[in-house]
Structure formats: C-alpha cells, structure tokens
Structure 1
Amino acid sequence: MELDNIDFKILRLLSKNSRIQWKDLGEQIHMTGQAVGNRIKKLENSGVIKAFSLEVDEMKVGLSYTAFIIIYMKTANHDAFIRFMNDCKEVVEVHRVSGEGCYHIKVKLNHQEQLNLFLDKILEYGNYSVHLSIQEIKQQNPLTAT
C-alpha cells in the first residue's frame, strides 16, 4: 500500500492520541469521520497500523532502571538466544547490529537485583557489557518528527 499525505496526517494524529474520535480527527484534516474511518481500516488491513497502544509512566509503575547491554555471542547459533530474548519480559528492544557486539538490548527493570539475575542468564549465550541510563533526554515517535 502506498501512503499519501492524508495517510501520514492520520498516522501522526493517531500516534499522539490513538483514542481520538474519527469525527474529531476528520475535522483536523478536513475529512468526514466516515472517510477517516475507511482510511484507518485500510491502514489496519494492510498492516501499516499494527496495534493501538498506550504510553505508561515507567517510573510510576516501578521500572526505575534502564540498561543498554551489548552482547558478544559465544556461538554462531543465535536461535536459542533470540528465543530467550523474546521470552524475557524485561527486554523492550533487541537489535542485531554491525560494529561492536552482536546484539544491543534495552531492558527496563524494577531494581538492581533484577538486572543481576538477567545478566547471569545472558552468560549462557555470551559475554556482555552494560551501560546504565542516567537520564532519558528524548523519546519520540518517528511519525511525530516529520
């Protein structure tokens, strides 16, 4: 599906407030609510919109530690590691990378002990280096940047 400017406007507005009424969204882009609804359905059916989600204040739910971990794999068989990553609730992002290490992981945790337990499990797959976040400076949805 090729997206036009109207589709991108709809995506930007939905990324700011996924609960917005189609009528209200339509008023902002000079369309009827029904026309907006049809566009949204097409975006969903084509897989452009994968889900509607919410943003949570991580500190208020106890996720006070953010760590970035670089993984240096011991083996070329990465399937078990990938399964492990997909099963870990504290892992919020995993990227296979070029350059330093094999994977870069972002984790959100409740406390230091949870990080230690997680790192112990990683040793089964490879070595690591850990970088703790001191302060998040910016987090932005890529659609709102354009």
Structure 2
Amino acid sequence: MLDKTDMEILNLLTKNSRTRWQEIGDTVHLTGQAVKNRVERLEKSGIIETYTIKINPNKIDKKVTAFITIFMKTTEHLAFQKYIRNKPIIIEAHRISGDGCYILKAAASQDEILEFLDEILKYGNYKINLSIENIK
C-alpha cells in the first residue's frame, strides 16, 4: 500500500528520475537512505517498472509530433504490432477501446510522417492529429 510519502517520491521521480535521493529526502522530510529504501521497495513491488528519458524532438531534428489513430481493416494485429515496434519514429503505441484500434505517438520530420502514413495503409485507415504545443 502506498502512503502519502511514497506518492510524493513517485511524483518527484516522474518529473526527473535522476533526482538524488538526498534532494528527494529534503523535500519529503526523510534521509537519502530512507528514500533509497522506499524506491527499492517500489521497484521490487513493480510499482516502478522502468526509468526513462524525455527527448526534445526539436533538438534532434524531429520537427512534428503526431497522434495517429489506427482503424484496422485486417485481423493481422500481431503483424501490425511487430511493424510499429520496429519503427523508430513511433514513441508510444497503445491498443485502445472506443474510437479506433490503436493510438500512436510519432515524432519525426513531416516527410517521415507522410511515408509512415502511406506504409500503414496496408493495415488500416488512420486519423492524424498534430501537436501544436507540448504543455506537460
């Protein structure tokens, strides 16, 4: 069971997973060692699954962030999933309920996005929304 301190630690790590234990401890009123112990417990219990980085697409020449909803016209879901796992422009991919079958987040140049859209037509149709500002 998570307590308020665990939630505060998770919130701080979500903002920056490289924050030092002591710095987190100063914020949540624990020692750095106590924070380390809590984080290890959260890792072992599966609450913290992995640590990631957030890349600024504009700094690496990836100019467009697109959210693409896929409407499958084939039953080849496993082939589609394998295909998108191997596409470096896909940052996130989720199978969804409701409007569509999958939602993908892509970051790439406009030309790369267009090429990708042409390629996925063999699996289904799509709807695309382009990000105009990253708020969080």
What is the TM-score normalised by the length of structure 1? 0.82
Map 1:117-128 to 2 at 5 A: 117-128=115-126
Structure 1: 5+ residue stretches without partners: 140-146
Give the SS at the match of 2:59: coil
Distance 1:97 1:16 in 2: 26
Determine if the alignment matches structure 1 residue 138 to structure 2 residue 135: yes
Identity of aligned residues (%): 44
Correspondence for 2:23: 24
RMSD: 1.7
Q: Which of the pair has the greater relative contact order for Cα pairs under 8 Å at 6+ separation?
A: 1
In 2 relative to 1, CA 137–65 (structure 1 residues): closer, same or farther, beyond 3 Å? closer
Give the SS at the match of 1:56: coil
Distance 2:68 2:28 in 1: 42
Number of residue pairs matched by the alignment:
136
Map 1:69-108 to 2 at 5 A: 69-108=68-107
In 2 relative to 1, CA 35–61 (structure 1 residues): closer, same or farther, beyond 3 Å? same
8 Å contact kept, 2:73–2:124: yes
Cα offset for 1:62? Answer: 1.1
8 Å contact kept, 2:17–2:51: yes
Structure 2: 5+ residue stretches without partners: none
Distance 1:21 1:97 in 2: 36
8 Å contact kept, 2:66–2:106: yes
Moved more, 14-23 or 61-70: 14-23
Distance 2:37 2:80 in 1: 41
